[in-house]
Structure 1
Amino acid sequence: MPRPRTYLFAGLALLLLAGLGSLALQKAPPAPNPALQHSYVKALAQAHNGLPGAARVLYQQLGRDDLSAIRRASLYAELPNYPSPQALKLASQDLHNDDPLVRRAALEAIAAMVPANQRSLLLGPLLDDEDDSVRFAAVDALAGLSPDDIGLYFAPWQNVLDQYQLALQTRSDDVQDQVHLARLYLQERDFPAAASALDQALKLEPENLEAIATRVRLLDSQGQGEGSRAVLAEALQRYPDSALLQYELGQWLLRHQQDEYALLAFSRAVELEPDNSDYRYTLAVSLHSLDQLQVAQKQLETLLARQPANRKARVLLIEYWKESGQLQNVQILLAQLEQQNPDDPLVQQGL
């Protein structure tokens, strides 16, 4: 081959390789910035642990547009502890996110931040979402509200609820789905349908404690107090160290006006699962209802020592300190809350 032609083909080959390389660089996703990667991890830990400045860094991360869906959803799991107009704005924007995972996470955060009677205006439109899981999450978020609270969205909610229940019925081999289906029916007071779903759940897993606890509630809702007590007693005999069953016993005793005995059951549940914030919070409320204010405060202090970001516990402890006239302790708790989130409505309200 003549030398000039050799040079020509060599030049064309180099140009082709350069073009392919350029195209590859254009298509490849940008390498993550190590500083941003670190700031995300640090911000998530800061929010989870309730450290000073937590709300600010959490909002900053949610303002980014380069996070994966799972990372963005993880941020929303922390957001309910840091409510503010900015938090609500960020979550409301992500109700329109392209990824259903993010939409569900934002929906659940809003449901946790916004009072029940105000949720439907924000979450009602998601009953028309293109993704089943988002529509069904909206049903769960509005479940238990009165028709008046759901307002204009009651008919769409009822329609999607029917779809949701039908979908759960088709997953008859999933225990958790059947328990959830039973609870949805129980909220509607459709007792035969709830019993059928529980029968299926217990057929699949006879010792499923969630299903047993739901059966106790179902029987009690039907006025079968003795039947529900017998089911619970039998389960506790088999699993005396189940925190879930002890907690369910406490709830049963409350429903039957045996508050002092309920206190013992809640105490036992906390003893078995000391890190369960719901159990300890309920114990504090029960102690307060029996005029044991100081002990209730101690339980909430313990909860906050374990979970400093737990705003629900902090707000209740502030109320209890106000009740006992300990305004210095109120100021300390408010100052800590202000360090976490200066835009918190409680901080803005002050003493």
Structure 2
Amino acid sequence: MRIALLGLLLLSTFVCPFVMAEDGSPSLVGSASCQTCHREQYREWQTSHHFSAMSVATQISVLGDFDNSQFTYNGVTSRFYRRDGKFYVTTDNAEGKLQEFHIGYTFGVYPLQQYLIDFPNGAKQVLSIIWDTRSKEEGGQRWYHLYPEQLHGMDETKMQGAAIDHTDPLHWTGSMFNWNSRCASCHSTGLEVNYEPENNSFNTQWFEINVGCEACHGAGEQHLQWAANSQEKPKTGPNKGFPQSINNHAKWGHIPDAKSANSDTYQTFSSSGPVAQRQKETCAACHSRRTPLQASTPGHDYNDDHLLSLLESPLYYADGQMREEVFVWGSFLQSKMQAAGVTCSNCHNPHSLSLNIQGNALCTQCHNPSVFDQVEHHHHEGEGAKCVNCHMPTTTYMGVDGRQDHSFRLPRPALAERIGAPNACNQCHDDKSNSWAQQTIDNWNEARGKQPSVHDFAEAFFDADSGDINASTELLKIALDSGQTGIVRGSAILRHGQFHNSQSLQATQSLLLDSDPLVRLGAVRSMDALPIGLKARLLLNHLEQSSKSVRVEIARQLASLPLEQLPKAKAKVLLAMFDEFIESAKFNASAPESQVLLGLFYFERQDYVLAEQAYRQALKISPRLESARLNLADLYRLLGQEQQSLAMLKQTLTWLPDSAAANYAMGLWYVRDGNYAAALNGLLTASELDPTNGRYASTYALGLDKLNKRQDAKAYLSDWISKHGAQPQVQAVLDAWR
């Protein structure tokens, strides 16, 4: 039983290192070089969170209480103090023992600040005890832990669990809190990770410690040369010497309609001029949930440098609202505003990062205030009348950091009730129900003679996530609808993967030709469960892809295809794609999830030696990583090394007893051993730990059947369907017994 790691890989926030100049390419010159000509922009930048993204720990940069303060978490009391002008913490190490650590760097500034600690192997680890930099009146000026003792997980209102200790993969000393591989390039400029797999060490370097001018504009050497030309000489070079222009030249205004009697009125301005796509993609390089594929430099196409996470659970709710930390871009791509040409600098000052205008005036730059900034529209006063409180609901991450959803959605309380998503109305009216909020909105609409709009995809996505095959028709309709945004269409066909049939596969062929790389990406990723022969028929005519993100996914899907069976020309192209996949995976070599993905690829290529090496490297980085352990156990099974497989599974369950996947794998081991009574323990535990997983439920029922308990098995599956719906895999087992 191999654990497919693409989803887990996408859940991780990796970095995109910026490569230093080589062989004649423009060099970085530093932000200080900009201030002579761009004094105001430089001053604004110095007030920004980009400027304070990372700093050497000094009396000025450190905001936390290091006056011998203490903080107790899960029975461990940590102490923060100064000595000889330096900052220290005594806290639990990787063995659970108290140890003194030197604080080398600050990380972030508001509403929280974290601290980095240098390890002997060159790793910089992010302490999970955080200083709340908000004012005391706001509840700040305190130490707190990223994972509260009774609540942890990105969605703290939903996820319950025990406190983190040194054995947990989320302990601050583990790979999930490694700055070099997961944080660095979006907090520093000109970064080189310099990971050395042989000894699991780093020699990470940067040009500027924080987010400087060239992190967005690109290397400035040629721009300085351009600026140095005298007035008598014509200044030459595209983009004034920069590799790209991220200016926004589009204009917004009312476009009169000559056919309309009210041609001087408008509801919303329209955009004219070029869309600043490069600006948006420059911001998205850091402000998105993605897997990096190669070194990212300003001016590169986003989908060449990154593989964007689509609208999948648990990252997003079924209606596209952010759930886990997704960093804005995936939300913004859903919005009508993005489709209309709105770009980041329409709302944000790109240097100070502050809003261009405060309050509703920011929105009424384009949306007619006589229409929208009126009680007849928002039905509120005070805070409730602010556009963002209805259309950009806030989710709190890292305990205190409120992030606003950038999909600019309408509140739909009844829909929220059905799909289990948040609802802007009840974020304020938390003493009221969704039904109350929906009835209130219905009354407003009825009074104005308005019909409520229907969400484009939420119900279909929710039903698909619940395994309802009846969602398949609507999913396919959404995927083929060119009026929908690319990220929605790609997410729709991806969800359809579990329901693929001849009709949908024919449609998928057309989606592979779509102009939007996110649609093509979703189409390719939807093929995970298809047999390799069918994948080959679908994909071999689509090897010529402009976006690297799509190419590496095609390579992953076709990894098990024997190249010798292909025409030489196609085999050569596919072999190059395989090399590109390996190169991309090794680019993230310091991330254990990437090593698992590489191991899965080698496994499909039947290169079991390299597969084992990749899994072993993942465990060198993160010894308790579930996926690496289970995939390695499965590799031993394939190689006939059943005792090694059993030993790996037993150790995994010792460390991770609540792992549904590990219990399931142990159950399958006993099935192979013919010990069905022992197998049932693992299979039942897996199903109890992950009660909505149809595969676990159906396998447990088949185990009961092996012990001549078919009636019990049928009753179990019937009860499971009544609770969780008729998933195809579960229903197929019941149908076979009729």
The equivalent of 2:535 in structure 1 is 119
Is 2:218 the partner of 1:218?
A: no
Name whichever of 291-300 and 20-29 sits farther off: 20-29
The equivalent of 1:132 in structure 2 is 548
The correspondence for 2:558, drawn from 139, 142, 145, is 142
The equivalent of 1:227 in structure 2 is 644
Deviation at 1:74, TM superposition (A): 2.5
Is 2:505 the partner of 1:88?
A: yes
Distance 1:52 1:167 in 2: 35
The change in CA–CA distance for 1:230 and 1:144 in structure 2 (over 3 A counts) is same
Contact 1:136 1:161 in 2 (8 A): yes
Deviation at 1:186, TM superposition (A): 2.7
Number of residues of Structure 1 aligned to a counterpart in Structure 2? 301
Name the amino acid aligned to 1:21: H
The equivalent of 2:725 in structure 1 is 308
The correspondence for 2:519, drawn from 78, 93, 102, is 102
- 1:117-165 CA-to-partner distances (Å, cap 9, x unmatched) read 32211122333322222222223323445669x7556664444223312
The equivalent of 1:242 in structure 2 is 659
1:66-77, aligned counterparts within 5 Å?
Answer: 66-77=483-494
Distance 1:295 1:262 in 2: 16
Distance 1:214 1:309 in 2: 29
Deviation at 1:178, TM superposition (A): 0.3
Name the amino acid aligned to 1:199: R
Deviation at 1:47, TM superposition (A): 4.8
Q: Secondary structure at the match of 1:22?
A: coil
Deviation at 1:95, TM superposition (A): 0.8
Is 2:698 the partner of 1:281?
A: yes
Deviation at 1:177, TM superposition (A): 0.8
Contact 1:81 1:309 in 2 (8 A): no
Name the amino acid aligned to 2:660: A
Structure with the bigger percentage of strand = 2
Name whichever of 122-131 and 283-292 sits farther off: 283-292
Distance 1:98 1:261 in 2: 52
Q: Secondary structure at the match of 1:38?
A: coil
Name the amino acid aligned to 1:66: G
The change in CA–CA distance for 1:52 and 1:277 in structure 2 (over 3 A counts) is closer
Contact 1:48 1:309 in 2 (8 A): no
- Structure 2 residues without counterparts, runs of 5 or longer: 1-251, 257-268, 273-336, 342-366, 368-407, 411-451
The correspondence for 1:25, drawn from 257, 264, 270, is 270
The change in CA–CA distance for 1:89 and 1:36 in structure 2 (over 3 A counts) is farther
Contact 1:266 1:282 in 2 (8 A): yes
1:1-351, aligned counterparts within 5 Å?
Answer: 21-22=254-255, 25=270, 27=272, 29=340, 38-48=455-465, 54-112=471-529, 115-144=531-560, 152=567, 156-308=573-725, 310-321=727-738
Identity %: 25
Distance 2:469 2:729 in 1: 17
Q: Secondary structure at the match of 1:128?
A: coil
Name whichever of 25-34 and 172-181 sits farther off: 25-34
Contact 2:698 2:733 in 1 (8 A): no
Name whichever of 54-63 and 232-241 sits farther off: 54-63
Name the amino acid aligned to 1:118: L
The change in CA–CA distance for 1:99 and 1:249 in structure 2 (over 3 A counts) is same
Structure with the bigger percentage of helix = 1
Deviation at 1:208, TM superposition (A): 0.9
The change in CA–CA distance for 1:140 and 1:290 in structure 2 (over 3 A counts) is farther
Name whichever of 174-183 and 242-251 sits farther off: 242-251
Name whichever of 258-267 and 99-108 sits farther off: 258-267
The change in CA–CA distance for 1:272 and 1:21 in structure 2 (over 3 A counts) is closer
Contact 1:91 1:110 in 2 (8 A): no
Higher relative contact order (CA 8 A, sep 6+): 1
Name whichever of 275-284 and 38-47 sits farther off: 38-47
Name the amino acid aligned to 1:196: Q
RMSD: 3.4
Q: Secondary structure at the match of 1:203?
A: helix
The equivalent of 1:344 in structure 2 is none
Name whichever of 172-181 and 20-29 sits farther off: 20-29
TM-score by length of 1: 0.71
The change in CA–CA distance for 1:164 and 1:299 in structure 2 (over 3 A counts) is farther
Distance 2:545 2:485 in 1: 21
Deviation at 1:206, TM superposition (A): 1.4
The change in CA–CA distance for 1:303 and 1:206 in structure 2 (over 3 A counts) is same
Deviation at 1:272, TM superposition (A): 1.9
TM-score by length of 2: 0.37
Distance 2:573 2:708 in 1: 44
Contact 2:524 2:554 in 1 (8 A): yes
Name whichever of 286-295 and 46-55 sits farther off: 46-55
Distance 2:486 2:254 in 1: 29
